[in-house]
Structure 1
Amino acid sequence: MGCAASIGRPEEITIGVITQKRKARSPLSSKFPSNLQGKQGEKADSVNREYQEKIEFLLTVPLFQRLPQDEHPVVASVCEICRFKRMDPIIRQGARGEEFFVIKSGQADVYAAKTEGKQEKIASLKAGDHFGEGALLRDEPRTATIVAMSEVQALKIKRSDFQSLGLHKKLKFGRRAAVSSNKQSFDKAKEPTPKTDVDKQLIAQAMRTNENLWVIGNLEDKIPAMTAVMWKEYVKAGKRLITEGDMEADFFYVVQEGKFEITVREEKLQGLGILKGPQNYLVVGQSRKGQSFGEVALLYCSPRAATVRALTNSVVWVLDRAHFKDILLKASEAKIQEYRGYLDNVPLLSALLKEERNELARALVEMHFSEGEKIITQHETGNTFYILFAGSVDVYKDEMQVTSLEASVSRKTAQYFGEYALIENEKRTATIQVRSPTARCLVLDRDSFQKLLGPLKEIIESHKAIGKDRWAQERTSGPEAALAADREKIFKQDLSYVGLLGVGGFSKVELWQHMVSGTSYALKVMDRGHIQKHGMEDTVKSEKKAMLMTRSPWVVRLVECYTSVNTLEILMEACLGGELLATYSRKGLWGSLEHTRYYVAGAVMALEHMHERRMVYRDLKPENIVLNSGGHMKLTDLGLAKLVIGKTYTTCGTPEYFAPEVIALSGQTLAVDWWTLGVFIYELMCSSTPFIASHPMQIYAKVMRGIDKNHFPGSCQGAPEHLVKALLRPHPGERLPMKNGVKSVKEHDFFESLDWNAMRADAVAPPYIPEVADERDVSNFFADPKDVASPLAFREDDTGWDDFPTVD
């Protein structure tokens, strides 16, 4: 049953009648009708829904997306929902700021006082936009007034909470175009000039005859759109349109009337056998009616290679780089996803979010190269990154071939090079020359990257800093270190099946091994038809959500999610030491204070982590503790976990572990987990639960009578008994951690010999080391393949319960 997930068999339940099996105590989940909950239950549901909506909203806000998902519940818990009516001022320019805002719905306008104190509108804000961080980061007055232009709902974070959570260090500000200015990528463009059919034909023919432009595939169908946005300019004789070396290379020109001279500086031609001229430049060409120049500016952000000067009064049609790329990049969604797949395999870009890689995919330019053509040249300064997706190239260093690269669309193989040019100007370390008849590349230059996302170096550094801060508080050795945020993705096709670990009513857990790294993972496979039949949709959604929002060495780590036609799958770290219940039974560990102390301490660490995220676990028991190959314990099976602000009235858990408030339907808080911890301690020390009975109603009666009526056997007397009684108080607020915090549990005599700092750092040696031969050893599990249920047909719906995209 155990491994990386416990998978109990779902059971039909009615009030007061529950089928119970001690060998496999299945978790129960039943939300009683609202008439039993009353208004309190409805109010609690509303509060909890609002809290979950906050978290789900934060996940959609680009500002928070680089923040690890396990921190979103903590941020959401300090967010206050504010509502503003139309024309209400949200903040005023010059006022001292104490709050930071994120718009959840509605629209607001930004006004700043300009000359003579007049207010000028400088931007509009919509859902997902944020403002007010300047006052929190630099303690400066508000720099603008923001007014609600419709009913606005916003999340507000106070300065004290903002800083206590370290958001000033973790969030990356400064790329919010909405509040910076009205300047756009297209601000250098002018209004299009009306064109006759003759004008359009001239422009189209000029583009078709420009050989450099045809390095880009599929240009023909883009010509009408490019022609439409071009404008006409009149150029006087002697005026330079392009200056050699100029970095402001933003325009492409088609000559309608006149003549232009193209020159290059002489020093550029030294060593080519060209004699010096009296004017220190050399004429290399002319451009007349129907010809074009400046096309390199459209393809790359690079210095101008020549000077272009009007010899006569002339007329040109002008196309700006931003419009050119915007038109060129309107690829189909399928193409964008194909490009995105290529970007996913570039390690340097692993710090980017899914949405950021999508943006880059849309910005990639497809280019074609011919046999013998050099794509990049050694020692030249580069600012362009290439993905070769069709064809082959040779790689030369110091004029010696060192390797070849080959890519194929049909085999879905791609090669990339020049990626460090996205960070800074670097000399190319090799020459890349086309070997096949043609080669097709996707190209991205640093300027385009930075306009979209900002400097890549800053993104990588902030990404590493967040990871470093998080992992400094947790274990940094063992499997968890490999699952840090900058890990490489695990694809299903790279895994091979090893064996069966556990079987449940609607799922099974299998062991799979990565064919390259050799690392093993547990794969929980859930049948969609069985999930629907047993009404477990919410449980499945909750489990995935809870695993995404926990990141602790004491909780089993989610690695990826997969979707197939009939199943939903969760890939997790493998814990090959087996389930704690089976271990205790096989090894006779019941009543061992040393073992109990270690496993209870681990449970405390796991619950503390979840409670910091306002998440109640609700199903602590030996079946839901698993051991890895080193004996380290981990909490698993988060199917009943729930984000809670205040109370929840859902009746769920294991009957022997039910707290009084679960039975009485009076509403559960985080305190319910501390009750289950008390039962957990008692069971490990006494080999049975304190309220065990043959019928559920008898269990409930014993629970309501209380723990003080119980006899504690000798193995559980003293400190264990005192801690159990301090946790199993009938009133939730009287339980030890609820009165004085988790610290009061850690300081209890039960843990007198335990070093909690060492425990946090995983420096406490586990009291039991399971026998695990290798990454493929399933000997600590006893699943029977005959118990695997046959798949059931399921009904497609639009509720989103089976939305299991791959984890980013």
Structure 2
Amino acid sequence: MGGCAFKSSSNNAKTIQAIVVNHNVLTSEEEKKIEGEILRQRQSKVKQKGALLEVRKGSIPATDAPTAQIKEVNKSSKDIELIEKSFEKHFIFTTLTHDQKKIVINSMKLYSLASNQVVFKQNQPGNNFFILGSGMLEVLVNDIRINTITEGQGFGELALMHDTPRTATVRTLTPSTLWGLDRKTFKKTIEDLNAMNYEENKAFIESVSVFTILKPAQIEALVGSLITFNYTPGQAIVKEGDIGDLLFIIKDGVVSCTRKNVELKKFVKGEYFGEQALIYNSPRTATCVAVTHVKCLCIDRENLNTALGSQLQAIIYKNSQFIVIEKSEILSKLSQIQAENLLNSMEVRKCQAGDVIIPNGTAKDSLIVMVLKGKVTANSEVYEKFSCIGAENIIENNNDILYDCDFITEGETDVAIITKNDFEKSIGGKYQTVTDNNEAFRVLKHVQLLRGLSNDNLNALLLVLKIEKYSDGDMIVEQNSEGDAFYIVKSGKVEVSIDSHVVRTITKHDYFGERSVIFHQKRTATVIAKGDVECWVLFQVDFNRVIDQALRTQLMKRIELQDDNLTLEDLVCVKILGKGMFGNVFLTVHKTKKIFYALKTVDRRKIYAYELQESLILERKVLMQLDHIFIMKLVKTLKDHKRIYFVLEYVRGMDLFDVIRKMQLVSEDDSRFYISCLIVILKHLHDRDIIYRDLKPENIVVDEEGYLKLIDFGTAKIVNKRTYTIVGTPHYMAPEVILRKGYTVAVDYWSLGVLLYELLFERVPFADEEDDPMVIYEIVLTARLKYPKLQKPMNEVKSVIDQLLNKNPSLRMGAGFEKLKLHPWFAFINWEKLLTKELKAPYLPKVKKLDPDLVLQYNGDKSLDGFMSKEEKDNLPAPSGKITGKWDEDF
């Protein structure tokens, strides 16, 4: 579908392959009938596997077993055995721990039904998983019996994942009893247990002294890399003299630690051992044996380095140095990159007690010393851990002042040292100039007009900024004069007046006149200095010299989209672009500006019927944070008494799903281009704590220039910690989403890996031929990643895919996007040229250019509301709850 495609959040038509039974119960003739129907459905619906399965708050409530008597009863040992055996046949339960199974079984209720009663109906939303305790059931597809269910068989487990329609009807043939588990109970039980387990493991990691210096993201990576081992009484965990690479944290039980058969101590819950072997690869200095049943959390050196990106000791030093920088009033003004360069340039020294690190008579501005461990004394002065010595002297150039005493270490002490010359080289110049530029850079970064520029572009503009000084009363710009410069207030304040009336005061780091660097416009106001004022000034001539015409044109297109004054009355409907279960998208054109927009509409009746208020608020909140050349832009949200509206950038092009098929063969170079675009997009999202959660070819448009544009943010979410909702498309869904273990942005890396595999090999890596979500889930969780036989080696790209499709999300993420971009497979990608669209795109979609004048001539007199009403259905369910009026106040 051309343009801005709106994807339905409803599940597409499902295969009749029944998930409510074990397939080996069917006769071969019945299997052939079903397989034939599956094949016909696949042939008629190529995009079947693109169906989005999503839990939506307030969807139509399921009514399973409406005539049943439901009781909470104590289960006999025979009942528990029957349930446990049934669990063994359903992957959704086989991944649970013993304790989790116990709690789930305890929460199951007993359903009693007479004969000829419906358990659930085909095409109705499901809510329960059932195990037949006694009696017999029949399974019907399109009113034709295809199977029977006997005692001990479980069915309907997909309902525990999400509320997609049942694929069959199940009815009692005899009076029957069933053990039932509803989705809400299962979801809460598993989420609560996983959350508790995660927090407990996190607390254990944070209790290990060697890890206390790690940052939250590094702690998260370690928690995800923990492995659980169980030991029986008397079993040796480690042996003296062995080379070890495991750290052990005791979660339960008691461990005896001995050396030469002499007990040194006993370790109990919360204590740990093996950290020296983990860090230094040294032999074990003692033997540790389980005294009781012991459960240990373990992490090995390889996983540690994969999760954290380098040697643990180096990370500890680096984190300590970052803490010093954050605590220092001087060094905290450095940018992230400058701080990184500084740390990489510093020499770390391990000192013994009494070592002199700064001799008496040393020039005060000659070096900077950071105390990373231990302490340093100078006469009566004591410099504790995380102190910084000499930073103030370097920036004040105290080269003629000498230290009058030795700086001496007390005990084992680690310090990081850098000379003045190396300091200035690492940060890119004199401290004052560099930090002044940092201030200007931060302002430029937030100027709406310049948001489309890369960091390299902004740094180039910094080089041409001029500093201008003004005295009290000086006129900086005059109303109605020709604008040729953009101003940022470096210090002081200025008054802005229109027609001699003061309208506002601008102070430090505010700016004015930004549109003059792109547009030839007269000044709309007069600006006068109030007191002494310093401004950074960017002249139009310098802007044009640094930013080429192609990029200026790109910026102008983005600026044209910004229209805070736009109203529904300004728009004329052209055609429908897409229809979904909850909303529609129309192509519209502005009556006077003649700019095309995509208008997403959601009928208020549907909002109230399906309780979509929160999801719409979230979608707006997400889109408001995004402004990127590769992401569909939200122009404005609007509302009236009938609908909520999202006015969106209209993207001319084809979705990536169709482009892949048009290209027939997507080369490795083509794949690298598309994946690089997506890496840039995901970094923009993840930097803002936004998880996309449904990355797939159908949600990516290849625009008229051949570059990617991410669309449809209906499933995106702002997440500061972890979330548990099952959302996404099964073939692209990460294992931790399926298992409800709690997840973060790493799920988008998994989807990226699936997409890269699909681009290269024309199929998804897991369950490509499957449509049944439960089968897909099981294969994603259990199957090993395999590659087709290749005519030529593809080792580099395979290592990228291996990383992205690692079932451990912590190892999947490695050290983040920057580390991923440094992978050899991306060596030939110029990331700055990618952002400025200077790289040649693999495919240019053929799109028809619309003439806005002709469109307005043909449609200009048609009612916007009338056009939309024709596409909306009236057969809506009644609102499920009380309608409140304030939820939409920001639209």
Q: TM-score range by the shorter chain?
A: 0.3 to 0.5
- TM-score using structure 2 length: 0.41
Query: Per chain length, whose mean CA-contact separation is higher, i.e. which structure has more relative contact order (CA < 8 Å, sep 6+)?
Result: 1
